[in-house]
Every structure is written in structure tokens, then in C-alpha cells.
Amino acid sequence: MTPNTPASTLPGVSYVMPVLNEVTHVEAAIDSLLSQDYRGPFDVIVALGPSIDGTTELVERLSKVDPRIQVIENPTGSTPSGLNVAITASHNPIVVRVDAHSVLPSDYTRIAVETMARTNAANVGGIMQAEGTTPFEDAVAAAYGSAIGLGGGQHHLGGDEGPAETVYLGVFRREWIQRVGLFNEEIRRGQDWELNRRLREAGGVVWFTPKLTVTYRPRPSLEKLARQFFSTGLWRGDLARRFFSSNALKYFAPPVAVLSVALGLLLGCFGYFGLVGNAQGPALVISWIFTALFIFPILYLLLVAVASISVAVRRGARTGAWFLVVLPCIHFSWGTGFILGFLKLTSNITAHTGR
């Protein structure tokens, strides 16, 4: 495949996008698809959940203006369900997953299809580059792009091109995604990782390339950020329980941090009051040991403070100040959700965790 390859010989592409209450971002996401420099045929399938913020009216208006945009109903509103109904409604041999918070660069599809042809991969993806428009969103973006925030990973920090465990979004060969059974609709978050696990087990290659960089718009408020990461952690915990041996150690870091800080505070206070109360004998030894556990929350606070200073130097004081709040919010929301999901409490909480 070369720049001179006739458009008529290029494989068709179907963009599939689940949408629910995304009136702020969805138009920019769709515009980025219509602006691709890929010369092959394409269509856009928007799986519309039961939105109440004006998203329904917006995407229906866009579909009337451009017939390449098809809107179909996604009654459950969940991401995996929306992806599956959109994939089923599409027909092109290449399926491009799109998020309503993402903006694809104009060369995204062309590079992805070229990479797929060169590597014979079942799925190709790249980097999620978070970009904020406010100091708060910029702090969230800084967390996304740092090892201390989301634990690293090629699809956040970049790296060398090659086979990968998972990638951001994904450009799939239809034959492969149908072979392994589409997305698992029981998994509300982390369904991309789980699908890529099945692709790899079936002999397909998941290919990462840093040439694919997608702009991602972070959640605009602390409440929405906490809900997002609690839900993500909840489902990651569920996946860690289901596929324990397939999960990297990095996924267990936030829950370990949550437990260490929480127990450090609780037992540290217990030990401190034992010392204040003049504990004697074995009780005194226990009080000293428990008091020493204060080291965990202290070290965590120092880590957050140092990271926030670094962010302030690079991105400005207001972003650095927000980072002091954003980083613990991400860690503790994600870590708490992970623990609950790992303990099989997922089914009791999913109704309150959004998509």
C-alpha cells in the first residue's frame, strides 16, 4: 500500500462509536472522522444510548447533514453493547473503534490501515494523549501521561513499535473480531483489554505503534473523575479476579496503596493513642509498631507533593495545585473500586458506576 494506491482498491472502513450523554465532545469526535485523509470508502456508526443532555438531537442533526453518519439505538447505553450493535450494523472489513471523548488526527486511519497491511495484525492501536482545556483538566492529563498516575504502559507513555498486551481504542480486522465473538457485554469497563486477550489467545497479533496518537479530553470535574476511575477500578478488579494470571503487577499497585495508607492511618492512630495512654509491657511494643505505620501515609503524601511540584514547574502553579487533588482522587477511586470488584461485589454496584 503506497500513497499512489488507487482509492478503489483500499479496504473500506467502519467507524464505530458508542455515545451516551456526550453533547460537549461528540461533534468534535465525529468531525475528526469526516476529516480523515484516508481515501478508501468509510461510514460512521453512532450507537446512541438513552441520553438526556441533548446528545440525541445533536447526532441526529449531524446524520441528516451527512448520509455517511448512521445513528442506531443502544438501549442499554453501555459501551460494549454500543460497540457490538455498531459493529453488527456495519459491513466494512476494517473496524475502527472511536470514543466520544477522542479526536483522531487526520492521518490516523491511513497509518493504521498501512500498519495493519504491513504487520498482518488483528488489531492496531497507539497512544492516548490526554489534553485539557482548564487547569483541572490539565492536571488530569498530567496524571494520564505519567507513570505515577496510571502506572505507565505504552498506550499512555509511548514506546517502541511492536506486539502489545493491549492498545488504546483499536483498529480491527472484522474477520478477527467476529472470530473471537465481539466485545463481552458483561464487562462494562476494560472490555478492550479482555477482547485483546482473546485475540492474542486465538493467535492474533495486537500491534502497538507510536505513530497513532489520539487526543483525549479528560473529565471536567472532580466528581466525574472519581466516578470514572471508581468504575474503571471496579471492573479492573473483576477482570483481575477472572483472569488473575493474565494481569500485570501494575494493576495491583493502586489497591495496595489504598490499603497501605488506610491501615497506616488507622493502626498508626491506634498506636499513637496507646503511647499517649502510657501503654506498658507488650502493649507498649505493639503501640510503637503501630505508630511506625504512619510512615505509609507520610510517604504517600510526600510522593504526591513531589509529583505536584514537578507538574507545577512544567505546567504552571494552578495545574500543580490541582494535581495535589487529582492524583489521590485517581489512586483512591481506582484502588477502592478494584478491591470491591476483586471481592465479587461488581454486580451489586454496576448500576451506579455509569458506562
Instruction: Say if CB 172 and CB 80 are below 8 A apart.
Output: no
CA separation for the pair 105, 35 (Å, rounded): 9
Identify whether residues 61 and 190 lie together within a single domain: yes
Q: Encode burial over 159-171: b for 16+ CB neighbours within 10 A, e otherwise.
A: eeeeebbbbbbbb
Identify whether residues 190 and 105 lie together within a single domain: yes
Confirm whether 236 is domain-assigned. no
Confirm whether 299 is domain-assigned. yes
86: containing domain: 7-220
Confirm whether 226 is domain-assigned. no
Confirm whether 332 is domain-assigned. yes
The pLDDT of residue 70 is 94
Confirm whether 339 is domain-assigned. yes
Instruction: Say if CB 11 and CB 38 are below 8 A apart.
Output: no
Confirm whether 1 is domain-assigned. no
Number of domains, the chain: 2
DSSP 196: H
Identify whether residues 209 and 279 lie together within a single domain: no
Q: Report yes or no on whether pTM surpasses 0.75.
A: yes
Confirm whether 244 is domain-assigned. no
Pull the grid cell for residue 251.
494493576
Identify whether residues 207 and 306 lie together within a single domain: no
Taking the chain (355 residues) in consecutive chunks of 10 residues, what is each chunk's mean pLDDT? 65 95 89 94 94 90 92 92 95 94 92 95 91 92 81 64 90 95 86 91 95 87 92 84 69 82 83 68 74 85 93 94 94 90 65 42
Pull the grid cell for residue 219.
473529565
Identify whether residues 286 and 155 lie together within a single domain: no
The pLDDT of residue 305 is 94
Identify whether residues 199 and 296 lie together within a single domain: no
Instruction: Say if CB 53 and CB 124 are below 8 A apart.
Output: no
DSSP string, 270-320: HHHHHHHTT--THHHHHHHHHHHTTHHHHHHHHHHHHHHHHHHHHH-HHHH
Chain centroid, CA 233 distance in Å: 10
- CATH number for position 114: 3.90.550.10
Q: Encode burial over 28-51: b for 16+ CB neighbours within 10 A, e otherwise.
A: ebbebbeebebebebbbbbbbbeb
Identify whether residues 260 and 204 lie together within a single domain: no
Confirm whether 15 is domain-assigned. yes
